[in-house]
Amino acid sequence: MYKFFKEVAIAFVILFLINLIISYLIINPQVYTPYEKVMENIGSKNFIFSDSHGWSLTKNNCEGEVLLKENNIKNLSYGSDSYFDIYFKLNYIINQGIAIDTIYLSADPHMLGKKRIHNSNKNRSIAYTDFETYTDFFDMSYPEFLTIKYVMKYFSTFNVNNAQLIQKYFNTILSEKNIFKNQIQNFSDLSKKQREIKSKARFLSFYERGPSKKLEIVLQKILNIALEKNIVVIGLEYPVAQQMKSLKIPDTMVLPRKIFLNKNLKFLSLTDIDSDIYFENQDHVNKLGADIIINRILEIKP
């Protein structure tokens, strides 16, 4: 019996050490640290909130980031951010005592789709909220909340969502290629058929699950907070490439733009930017597209 428990203890220690190494080398640098870095050095009074569509403005565009900073605008967008994540981050900034003048808030149609509930950053944005606020939307006990917020990031191997990232990392080592380096290919370089296939696949992933009432409620909460704090809200509908733009959004979807316009909020549609030369893929702009959007944002800056 002693030998059995000894072997179990050794196995547990080995597993624990492997977990720490993977978390240190892969998960934290690729998942948590970049997300947290976006929220560092908040010295602006105007903020852009979006998912990867807004993140594309500055992700690979240092000049664009500098230009925004010169105009006192900070981009707090991040890939897969939902209105839940934006709500937590906005509350966090307000609670830090930062006086916000304007927020440029994503009004993309897919932001109210059910996909954005399941594919979000709730396990990362939890760092910027408290138990009461988080459980307004997600049912869990206080111990569960503490575990997700303070413990799980250090036990990343037990998170099935990280499995693909871990596999990708080790495949890179074996093949001696750096896949974490972005292999950016402009959308216009693809054949027409490839562009159509990619556009349809992304479109279906956005809308095939239907609308989310929960996300609509969270959007309303964001707008109510802005009204309460006298924050100017400008809705931004980001562009998609022509092949994706031509697909019809289901009538069952609730469109954020209608909510913004019904509340007489400012709204900027960027959907006229649809030439393939402005896109990295079917729904993310490249640097050329990002520069156009940033200039359009600065034109309407209050």
Q: What is the pLDDT of residue 94?
A: 96
Q: What is the per-residue pLDDT for 23?
A: 73
| pLDDT of the residue at 115 | 92
What distances in angstroms separate CA 301 from CA 22, 33, 182, 292, 294, one per listed residue? 44, 30, 32, 14, 10
Give the largest CA-CA distance in the chain.
Answer: 74
Q: Supply the CATH number for residue 158's domain.
A: 3.40.50
Assess contact for 40 and 77: CB atoms under 8 A: no
CA atoms within 13 A on the CB side of 26: 22
Write down the pLDDT at residue 165.
Answer: 58
What's the total number of domains in the chain? 1
Structural domain boundaries enclosing 209: 2-299
Low pLDDT (below 50) residues in the chain? 176-184
What pLDDT, on a 0 to 100 scale, did the predictor assign at position 25?
Answer: 75
pLDDT in tens, 248-293: 999 999 999 999 999 999 999 999 999 999 999 999 999 999 999 9
pLDDT at 182: 47
Instruction: Give residue 162's pLDDT.
Output: 64
pTM of the model: 0.89
Specify the pLDDT at position 158. Answer: 61
